[in-house]
Amino acid sequence: MTDDPAADGDLDTDTDFDDDADDSRATTVSESAIEALCDALALKDETRTGWALRGVHDPESVAAHSWGVAYLVVAIGETFTDEFPDLDLDAALRMAVVHDLGEAETGDVPTRADPEAAESLPDADEQAAAERGAVADLTAPFDAAERLRADWETYERRDRPEARVVKDLDVVDMCLQALVYERADRYDQADSSADDPTTDDPASGAPTADAFAEYDALDEFFVTARRSVSTETGRSHLDRIHDRYVAARDHDDPA
């Protein structure tokens, strides 16, 4: 007995993948759609800038972060339903998937708690406009383009419970990642941005070697998270993660 269905004769391996083999299939995607999908996959190689600036070794990509937010929606999204009884988790999941889509073209611009570092970042309105244009370009070839753009716009406006929940889970994912990096000692305790050639660009948010001088360890990520969270449930999750982070930072972590 083998675990391979094909070897047992249970799987038809002669499937014809010619375009005209089965008229009942969905219409083949266009060449422009394939190119747009390839462009969106740039998120898999787009490093999350905040971690890189902090000197995290082999930091996650934007796509990895987006997966983290989407997973949080399906794993703990229901914890928000006491606060939002009519919460549409399907809509929240769609928002989680597309919320950083524009960064495939614009790149990732970090949120900074340090006022001096924040001054060197691109103008927020200009950045939002650039991301909006990128989302329009990346979704244009698809039949679902209008829905994809609507999901992204709703997330940006934060005028629906689903958007607020996804934003809170966006920062919860960041803080969970900070906890993982802290436990694994994945960053230089002394700021390493002086050795990072990307920080020579003021737009990176860290034009000097002491970019994180105002905060110890990965503390700044929790400061920016607290400023962004807007729900009581999100604050509760963040508090529990922060407690574990502090224990790890101070070498008193039961994990």
Residue located via tokens 């759609």: 33
Global pTM? 0.80
Confirm if 99 and 170 have CB atoms less than 8 A apart. yes
Bridge partner residues of 187 (DSSP): 56
Q: How confident is the model at residue 210 (pLDDT cuts 50, 70, 90)?
A: low
Architecture (CATH level 2) of domain 31-249: Orthogonal Bundle (1.10)
Rounded to an integer, what distance in angstroms lies between the CA atom of residue 182 and that of residue 125? 33
Q: Taking the domains of the chain in order of start, what are their residue ranges?
A: 31-249
Is the predicted pLDDT of residue 96 greater than 70, yes or no? yes
Confidence tier at 162 by pLDDT (50, 70, 90): very high
At 215, is the pLDDT very low, low, confident or very high (cuts 50, 70, 90)?
confident
Phi, psi of 61, rounded to the nearest 5 degrees: -90, 165
**Which tokens hold the place of 37?**
């999908």
Mean of the pLDDT values across residues 209-216?
Answer: 66
Bridge partner list, 61 = 47
